[in-house]
Structure 1
């Protein structure tokens, strides 16, 4: 029994299966614990000198599966109880580690940290699952726990698998409580509590990380993490990396709501902290197909985005060259510390949701009074079925078609309309004004889980303190007016971070844009994409899943320049780019290079 390895060489010994409880238990661990001191305190004096594997074993022996709720960090574990002949597989709650598994008809269970390693077992088949591929083509939030191969499943974040000689079951062992509340008497108390928690979770994510390297953008999320890490690590150096657009690429004229180069704001943050050594990393377009093909054996899925991995590749390469084993970031911030209280992408599904929807619309209008805000507030009152109904009445295609290259038959096969409706309606058991934020944090954890195996190729893992369970629980329990008050949006974050970020970052209301040079890069790749569509058309499964004629029409009607391409972003990047990426996956999965 064993798990695939972590890029952190310091944990190699801990990953080997270890015996516990006088030989009754066997533990295999990949990952690390945050707040191991808290677990030691819960276990008592005997745990003071235990390594992390010993802590996990002691916790499981004492509390059973309930111990999983007490563990923070990024980990995947296999726990074998010889006396009970019971196997527990579990992944952490934030998607930092994952496991893939397959069970043969003879009840033999195989598991590994990557799909490729699992498929190296001759008993594990390599058969493409068309329905799973179609769901993956609709986006990560709809992928579930299935890979794109028949019989190979993934254990999502916060889930466990229990196997005995007679049964096997997968279940979710933990979820956020949307009804929990945290209330203080004064605004200042919310700020103080959030600062204390931010310091604590960042400190926990610094443990055993080797050289401290952090992403640093011009926004609040990664800046919050990098600045906090610098304060905690001082006087030791914190290296930061900022992505900049490809200097050789043409970009569109920047809009009023976004900025394309984050370097100036990143340098302003670095200037406040003498121990930050900031460095810019320009994006560079290398072989997209080679990059995609190195990812697929790890995840067993096509990428959601054709170019995102290529755009960030230089960042990971530079972090690895610095000797980093991990890189800090703030991907989950938009759903936790730096969130807005204004919901997006959810609609009132019942009459009981209307008060929350009205309150949300009023907050939207107060934030930015005007016609567009009023129209947005009114749209937010429409039930989930209203949008699809209006599209049918006006002869327009369904909304999901704009973001996918799936064929109509493939979309019907997975009930794309129903999937889209459920996503817009959200979880009816969650208070309306929290639905979007809860869905956002869970989708962030899902995305982390789906792509966490990529650390094995990069040699560097991603750590996100803003996605820590403790941060998510705290922020989800706060009053709405701590996040949006009048015209002040991201109200909590701007107050919490006032002691560590410069004024120009705190007051910036535009969003930093990743991959602004997308049209230039897609233009360079246009001949390759044409060849990929030809190959898709020669594949019966490719024609079944991908709307090749529609994508060819997009390729033939090419925008003249970056500005002309902007209104067609979803058509070009999501539908065309996603369809091409799906085609590359199918060729790899079916074992072909043609």
Structure 2
């Protein structure tokens, strides 16, 4: 698509410490020369579009150029900001004319997008680094740190840095010469669930999952992260129902533990892979404990979210690359969509206690965030399910995985993050979806109908691997983090209480509070402040 003018657009120079693997997927600077006059709709002249996108069903009005940029531009010209209601897939984009800029992203946060608005000049990027100051240390957004450490939710437009704004999921932001002028939030589909009984709803869920799987692997060699749980097993079964040409281009990968048997799911993974007709690659994990090696893992600059099993995950992605896969599927969002702690049977629980190592300032922020959220898991209307699907933490994890997978040379895709599935599930009677006595009821019923016995599925976390890293192999490295704590110097944690909490864990083996998050926070802050990768 062409622009009616030539806005300033390009890459900003950046010091080496802000560079992350490949060049940012989406990075631009647009100067809007004049404010539009007239109505609220976008100008009808052609848009210039930059996009990091994988789109599914094409929107109406463009059957010529199949590129995501052309399809997004055509949808914006035809529908304005309301195009965000109709674009389906994983996407982030910036689109502009002489006097209008629109930034948008998908509802499930599968592609990150951030911006800075300097009043007429808007810089946007799928990485935060290029938006940070050229010199000095950027200011951390304390409420985001509080949400991260306490497991709370944050408003969806907040990033981990002051002055850098996150484009909210499922939103199209419209800018003019004077700055932000309006926001269009995606309107969820309203599926006609009132005409369905539970059996028909189960069949419809499966049809939507199978479509989501097909859209993500069409024409590509695909790997599947296969655990012993229901979410990834359902994807494997869905792959087995695709056309042979697509099915035979896919393979599964699972973690294998010989000495750490509590986390081993290979027996279940072999059964599911055999049932689904997928070749299975077993990736050894006994020596891939957290913090392993001469240098600790580097959290991405954009946020402190880093998986404790990142080393093993990277090893698995490398195995997928050896197979020739260019996309790797996961079932990460399955818990958010059909499981987790959101029940439809009337049970309620209170929020867990705040970690004792939070500073007074961070504790107050965390308490305020929790007070603003619903404390109940009783969900008779489905509203809590919608909130869980769209949660800030789920989006941060998706963005983390997107960056981590891209760094290994493959695309990240999750069929459970398809908005057509999310809209449908959120509209169902909650007690059909998930119950305390029948977790993931609707999904397990769907799998039973396809000959997969839910009783044989397992869901094990490799806790032994975590313990091996923190309590045995890397204990001294963790202690070194707390001896000179950047988080403590910034008044975010109480390092003395944190040391005591860690030592209690080392002595007893019982982790009363999540200790990985303060470790990840410390590594992230050291990278920002000192450029360090290890203590």
TM range (shorter): 0.7 to 0.9
**Cα distance in structure 2, aligned partners of 1:441 and 1:62:** 29
User: In structure 1, which of residues 527, 545, 557 is the aligned counterpart of residue 504 of structure 2?
Assistant: 557
Any conservation in 2 of the 1:263–1:280 contact (CA below 8 Å)?
A: yes
What is the match of residue 363 of structure 2? 411
- TM-score with structure 1 length normalisation? 0.74
Match in the other structure for 1:58: 74
Per-residue CA deviations over 1:231-285 (Å, capped at 9, x if unaligned) read 215252421011234x455x7xx6xxxxx321111111111233x1111112213
Alpha-carbon deviation of 1:180?
Answer: 6.4
- Among 481, 502, 509, the residue aligned to 1:532: 481
Whether 1:490 aligns to 2:416 is no
- Distance across 2 between alignment mates of 1:586 and 1:216: 33
| 2:342 paired residue number | 343
- Report matched runs for 1:38-57 at 5 Å: 39=59, 42-43=60-61, 47-57=63-73
Work out which of the residue numbers 158, 162, 174 in structure 1 matches 2:170: 158
In structure 1, distance between residues paired with 2:46 and 2:293: 47
Q: Distance in 2 between matches of 1:175 and 1:570?
A: 41
What is the distance in 2 between the residues matched to 1:124 and 1:81? 34
Matched, 1:579 2:518: yes
State the 1:62 CA deviation. Answer: 0.9
Residue number among 100, 109, 124 corresponding to 2:114 in the alignment? 100
Deviations 1:20-52 (A, max 9, x none): x9974211111210123xx2xx22xx6255433
Determine if the alignment matches structure 1 residue 111 to structure 2 residue 112: no
Instruction: Please name the residue that 1:229 is paired with.
Output: 239
Q: 1:219 to 1:287 in 2, by over 3 A?
A: closer
Q: Does the CA-based 8 Å contact 2:22-2:407 persist in structure 1?
A: no
Matched, 1:127 2:155: no
Give me the whole-angstrom Cα distance separating, in 1, the residues matched to 2:458 and 2:496.
Answer: 37
From 345, 351, 376, the equivalent of 1:360 is 345
Counterpart CA distance in 2 for 1:475 and 1:244 is 33
1:271 to 271, 274, 279: 274
Specify which structure has the bigger relative contact order, considering alpha-carbon pairs within 8 angstroms and separated by 6 or more residues. Answer: 1
Pairwise CA distance, 1:318: 1.9
| Distance in 1 (alpha carbons) for counterparts of 2:487 and 2:518 | 15
- 1:86-485 equivalences in 2 (<5 Å): 86-104=100-118, 107-119=120-132, 122=134, 126-139=138-151, 141-142=153-154, 144-169=156-181, 171=183, 173-174=185-186, 176=188, 182-184=193-195, 186-207=197-218, 210-235=220-245, 236-245=248-257, 247=258, 249=260, 260-274=263-277, 276-283=278-285, 284-285=288-289, 287=291, 294-297=298-301, 299=302, 301-303=303-305, 307-336=308-337, 338-339=338-339, 343=342, 360-361=345-346, 377=347, 380=348, 399-401=353-355, 405-412=357-364, 414=365, 416-425=366-375, 432-443=380-391, 444-449=394-399, 451-483=401-433
Aligned partners of 2:65 and 2:71 also within 8 Å: no
For residue 5 of structure 2, what is the aligned residue in structure 1?
none
SS state of the match for residue 484, structure 2? Answer: helix
Change in 2 beyond 3 A, CA 1:169/1:214: farther
| Alpha-carbon distance, 1:432 to partner | 4.1
SS in 2 for 1:168: strand
Q: Distance in 2 between matches of 1:296 and 1:180?
A: 38
Alignment length, in residue pairs?
498
Q: Comparing both structures, which one devotes a greater share of its residues to helix?
A: 1
SS of 1:151's equivalent?
coil
* Residue in 2 that maps onto 1:395: none
Q: CA deviation at 1:78?
A: 0.8
What does residue 372 of structure 1 align with? none
Cα RMSD of the aligned pairs, angstroms, is 3.7
Given candidates 49, 52, 55, the residue that maps to 1:27 is 49
Check 1:423–1:309 CA distance in 2 against 1; reply closer, same or farther (3 A cut).
Answer: farther
CA gap 1:112/1:125 in 2 versus in 1, 3 angstroms: farther
1:225 is displaced (CA, Å) by 0.9
Structure 2 equivalent of residue 367 of structure 1: none
- Specify the alignment match of 2:6 in structure 1: none
Helix, strand or coil at the partner of 2:228: coil
Aligned to 1:393: none
Q: Is the 8 A contact 1:426 1:435 kept in 2?
A: no
Paired residues of 1:100 and 1:152 also in contact (CA < 8 A): yes
- SS in structure 2 opposite 1:590? helix
Query: Offset at 1:176?
Result: 4.2
Helix, strand or coil: the match of 1:157? coil
* C-alpha distance in 2 between matches for 1:161 and 1:130: 25
Aligned to 1:365: none
Query: Do 1:328 and 1:462's aligned partners in 2 also have CA atoms closer than 8 Å?
Result: yes
The residue that corresponds to 1:354 in the other structure is none
The more displaced of 313-322 and 125-134 is: 125-134
Q: CA deviation at 1:131?
A: 4.5
Structure 1 window deviating more from structure 2 (193-202 vs 476-485): it is: 476-485
Distance 1:401 1:273, change over 3 A: closer
Alignment CA distance shift 1:331-1:592 (3 Å)? closer
2:93 corresponds in structure 1 to: 77
